[in-house]
Each structure stands twice: as C-alpha cells, then as structure tokens.
Amino acid sequence: MAWNVGMVSQTPFIFDGTIEENLLYGCTAREGEKKIDSAFPLPDLDHIIELIEQIGLFPDVLRFGLNSILDFESYSNLLPRLIRIRKKLTRRLNVPLSEYVEFFDKQKYQYFSTVAKNLTYGTANQAAFKELNLSQNEYFLRFLKEVNLLHPLMVLGTRLCRQTMQIIGNLPPSEIFFEKSPFAADELGKYKSLNEQLNKLEWSQLSAENQKNLLELALRFVPGRHKMIALPDDFKRDILKARTRFREKISADIPDAFSFYRKSDYIFSHTILHNLFFGKFKTSNPQIQDTINAQVVQLLIEEDLLEAILKIGMQFQVGSKGDRLSGGQRQKIAIGRAFLKNPNILIMDEATSALDNRSQARIQALLDSHWKGRATLVAVVHRLDIIKGYDQIGVMKSGKIEEIGNYDELIAQKGLLYELVAGKR
C-alpha cells in the first residue's frame, strides 16, 4: 500500500501551501485513503515540534514565526504576553544588543528608519498617509512647510540624487549594486534623468512630478543603510522637533490617521520580532539574527508562547514548488514529511545532499537511533562516512551492483568499496 512507503529524493517536490501542510501531506493523504481511520490519527502539535527539532528545522520555523506580521482579529490573545516580553527584553538586553538593534526612542533620531518614519514615528492607518504616498499628500506637504522642513528635505533629495548617481549611475541595473541605495535598480532611469535636470536647474524649477520624486527620495533615506551622505546635526534636531508637533497636530485634526509608537502598544505593521525588540535591526546577517533569536526563546518559554510562535511559523507560505525556501529547508521538510508518515519502507535518494555536514550527521544519527529495527531503509548515498551502520551495502559501477555485503565484509574483500574508502578511485 502507498501509505507503507515513504520516499525522499535529492530534489524533493514541495507543494504550494504552508510548511505544516507540506509536513502533514503524507499523513493527510493516508487519512483520506483510510477514510479517517482512528488507527492513523494525524500527528499533534507536540509531535510535529519534536520532529522539527530532531531534523534541524526548528530554527527555520522559529525564524519564520518571529518574522511574521500578525493581524489583530486572529491573535489578539497573544498581544499582552508579547508586550510583557518586550518590556523584559528592554530591561535585560538593551545594552548588550545595542550593537545589533536600534531600539525605538521618541527622544532620539532613528538611524535605521526612514526620514519619513522619523517624522511620523508611527504606522499609517489610512492609505493617503502611507510612506509611498506622503510626497503627494497635501496635508503632509502643508505640515512640512509649516515647520520649515520642505526646503531642507528637497536639498537632501538633491544631494542624494547627485551623490548616488555619481556612485552607481554607470553600473548595470542589477539589484546587488543597489542594496545600499535609496532607490531601486528599476528606478535608475528615472533618477538619471532627474540628475541631468538638476545639473541645469534648481529643485524649485523642476516639474511638479520631479519635485515629488525628489521629496520621495529624501523621505525614504535611511542614514544607517544609505551611507553616501551624512545628515547634519541641526537637521536631525529639526526632525525631532517636527516629530512632536506632527503627533500633536494630526491627533487633533485626523485622530485615526496614525497609530503612534508607544512601548505599551503592539505595532501591527511590524514583525513579531521587531515588536519584541521595539526597534529595527542594524544588520540583516542571519547569524546575528539567530544569536538574537536565542535570547528571545527563553522569554517565549517563560511566557508559554514558544509553541504559539512555532505554530505561526508553520503557516509560512512556501511558494510555488517551495521557491521561498532554500534547498536545505526543502530537503528537511521532505525528510520530516516522510518521517511523520511513519512508513514501513523508507527510501532516501541522496536525501541530505543539500544539507551541511552538521545537519547530515543529525539526520543520520536519527536514522540510526530511531528507525533501525522499525523500518526497512533503502538509501542511495555518495558519502562513505555514513554507511558503516547499514546491514547491507551494494556498490554500483556503470549502473550495475558489483559487490554487496556489510561494511566489514566488503572492506576485508579489498574490492571496490575498499578502494573507494582508501581513496584509490
């Protein structure tokens, strides 16, 4: 029967859907064939979490969970505990993590946030006040004139356009060259044309559309990431003054336009992780973020939230054929899918080829400890350091099995396996 066999190939097929759906695919398919037979219940959450720990998928699922954006209606019950974790993290880790995280502080300029975010210091609840629309929002433009910031921002946009074009203007429109640029590769033509006009005209002489583009460039500037120019200290002081004035003014004029950043409020436009740290990361280095995640796990356990975050992570949409996952993540999901099915026959065709040595060793140890004596394992492997524990080893050459036996027997014969192990072929 199909449910007695599990298979993991070198390039496994991942279905469009969530990680959880992919992990449970073999079980749900069997459940359908068995007409929901109680003898084959679906694995519960504890079982799935135990499995993802065993196969090394736990950090990936945790990261997906922490990088998720929550909606209020579905997860309102989690918010008080997430806010408690934020307060604990701020007390315990503010200084140790300051190298990696810029914590939100209404009294300070945020170098890893946009100029627009520094001005508004909140999340827009209305489309007209989203960052992409601020450069053409009449209310916001009037405010900039009122606090004497429109001119400095247009000067900033002019400097950014000229300096950025000087650095990358003649490079090919590849994303890699634009990672630290205030505009994207597909905007190169637009800002190249704008720069040519700025060589002839003052910003005030530009068309309304080009003035909008220049202001948009200034508002999206992130000093901590776009380092082609530095912000003057007096400009930062003016931004901080304007921040307070903007909150007062728009709260009186349009009370529902913004949700402002407060330590007691959850920010629904930000990820769980950004909410826990109440700030922005200064680096996108995954190793640094893993180190930071480790600091979070203990507090998630204290608040009994770890399982909830993992469950959210398992709802990550993997994309068409898993194109939002790495090769290693796809293989781990395929291995987990086969293991959860708990088949009598397990076929693994180079099933760990995309994994690093540590992950391969983890899977092999799991096969040796958990599956030996419980299922028939047929494995195609090229790594000779993992074959010693197999009952029978077949050595193939030119598509034919040339010798078969256990490891010690084949080494004693001094045949093909012996030569391979000795490095003679």
pLDDT of residue 383: 80
Reduce the DSSP state of residue 24 to 3 states and report it: coil
Q: Region 67-85: what's the mean pLDDT?
A: 91
Dihedral angle sign, alpha carbons of residues 169, 175, 181, 182: positive
Give the H or E element holding residue 389.
Answer: none
| Whether the Cβ atoms of residue 180 and residue 226 lie closer than 8 Å to each other | yes
Closest to 370 (Cα-Cα) out of 392, 389, 395: 389
pLDDT digits (tens, 9 = 90+) for 241-269: 999 999 999 999 999 999 999 989 998 88
Provide the token pair at 350: 């180079």
Dihedral angle sign, alpha carbons of residues 17, 20, 26, 32: negative
Band of residue 39 on the pLDDT scale cut at 50, 70, 90: low
Burial of 166 (0-12, 13-18, 19+ CB in 10 A): exposed
Angstrom distance (rounded) from CA 18 to CA 7: 20
Angstrom distance (rounded) from CA 346 to CA 89: 44
Angstrom distance (rounded) from CA 168 to CA 171: 5
Other CB atoms within 10 A of residue 81 CB: 16
Domain boundaries, the chain: 2-40+317-386, 69-103+271-313, 115-260
Q: Which of 15-19, 98-102, 288-292, 401-405 is the least confident region?
A: 288-292
pLDDT digits (tens, 9 = 90+) for 185-221: 889 889 999 999 999 999 999 999 999 999 999 999 9
Identify the residue whose tokens are 């810029």.
102
Q: Which of 125-129, 306-310, 369-373 is the least confident region?
A: 369-373
Angstrom distance (rounded) from CA 419 to CA 424: 5
Band of residue 36 on the pLDDT scale cut at 50, 70, 90: very low
| Whether the Cβ atoms of residue 336 and residue 23 lie closer than 8 Å to each other | yes
Strand partners, 122: 260
CATH number of 2-40+317-386: 3.40.50.300
Give the length of the chain.
425
pLDDT digits (tens, 9 = 90+) for 282-333: 877 777 777 777 778 889 998 999 999 999 999 999 999 999 999 999 999 9
Averaged pLDDT score across all residues of the chain? 89
How far CA 373 is from CA of 6, 268, 334, in Å, comes to 16, 50, 22
Q: Under 8 Å CB-to-CB from 380, ≥6 apart: which residues?
A: 348, 349, 350
Ranges of beta strands (E only) in 216-325 are 258-260, 279-281
Q: Which of 36-45, 49-58, 129-138, 282-291 is the least confident region?
A: 36-45
Identify the residue whose tokens are 């599990």.
6
Reduce the DSSP state of residue 419 to 3 states and report it: helix
Local structure of residue 322 (DSSP, 8 states): G
Closest to 112 (Cα-Cα) out of 270, 255, 308, 295: 270
